Amino acid sequence: MRAPIVTVGVLLLLAACGGAPTSNPMPIAEEPDVPRLSDLDVAADAPNVSLAAGQEPVVGPLISELISSNDGVAAGTSQENSGFFGRIFSVSAGSSASGSSSAPANSVPPNAGLAFGEIAPTCGMSRRDLGTEVASASGYTIYDTIPNSTAPRTHYITGFDDNCARQFTAALVLLGDVGTHEVVRYNPANRNQSYTATDNAYEAIKASFCRAGFGKPCGGRIDRLAKRTTFVTAYERFGSSPVWANFLLHNGDVAASDIEGR
């Protein structure tokens, strides 16, 4: 993700302003032909780019072999610019937003105080315990536990296939759709900037669903891809010299995550 550009498709969530207006879009049915990252052919030694509680952040390329059109995916993490936009998500109505009869092995309790950059499942929470809904898109919804604060605090995202929320820590959250990501990522001015784990994961998803080559826009299918694919950027704190975490959400799962700015 690149510098925080205020543009179409971007909603800035400033806790100091009391949070953004909530929205309640109609639930979006999952497109049956949108590929899951887990369905793609992955080499046995390919790294796992998702962050679980207690793990070090993963920064670098997702398996470049998944992207058939380019064998030279740039590795590493860009630190030249400020983070990309985040984004957020709509969830179906229901009495429990994160209930699950079988919690994932890496699940954590509510308000676990995760280290910045970690994201982990939290199951069994009622909607009211998640905090204030601040935005939604692409089938996901984000909640802020203390929306009038500027300090790092717990946020939750719902809309995942296991019915468990995802918990992370941030002082500021930005939203960015896949179309805006492509505009920024494929800008000629950014050609020499390193691809992050979330950049490369998006290239793999896009190559499978859109049949588009590495570094090329998705094209006419991007609106369908966007129905269940989105980016979230979480900032560690307000101020200069920002550090930010990127989360790529796709088909009801966290497809990739990384940290930039350090």
User: pLDDT by residue (tens digit) across 210-236?
Assistant: 999 999 999 999 999 999 999 999 999
- In the sheet with 229-235, reading across from the earlier edge strand, the strands are 12-13, 172-176, 229-235, 244-250, 253-260
Nearest CA to 141 among 13, 6, 261, 14? 13
Q: From the CB of residue 26, how many other CB atoms can be counted at a distance below 10 Å?
A: 7
233-248: b (≥16 Cβ within 10 Å) or e: bbbbeeeeebbbbbbb
- Measured CA to CA, the distance from residue 121 to residue 156 in angstroms comes to 9
Closest CA to 185 of 101, 74, 105: 74
Q: What is the pLDDT of residue 1?
A: 52
The pLDDT value recorded for residue 175 is 87
Percent residues over pLDDT 70 in the chain:
61
Q: How confident is the model at residue 241 (pLDDT cuts 50, 70, 90)?
A: confident
Top pLDDT among 159 and 262 is at 159
Report the alpha-carbon distance of residue 42 to residue 32 in Å, rounded.
Answer: 21
Give rounded-to-5 percent helix, strand, coil for the chain: 15, 20, 60
| pLDDT above 90: residue 203 | yes
Mean pLDDT of all residues in the chain? 75
Q: What are the Cα distances from residue 109, in Å, to 124, 164, 260?
A: 9, 11, 26
Asked if 262 contacts 235 with a C-beta cutoff of 8 angstroms, the reply is: no
Query: Which residue ranges make up each domain of the chain?
Result: 12-29+46-260
Residues in the chain: 262
Residue 8 backbone class (left: φ over 0; alpha: ψ -120 to 50; beta: rest): beta
DSSP state of 118: -
Pairing outcome for strands 244-250 and 132-137: unpaired
Side-by-side strand order, sheet with 140-144 = 120-122, 165-170, 153-158, 140-144, 132-137
Backbone φ/ψ region at 241: left (φ over 0), alpha (ψ -120 to 50), beta: left
Task: State which of 50-59, 90-99, 199-208, 239-248 shows the largest mean pLDDT.
Answer: 199-208
Confidence band (pLDDT; 50, 70, 90) for 98? low
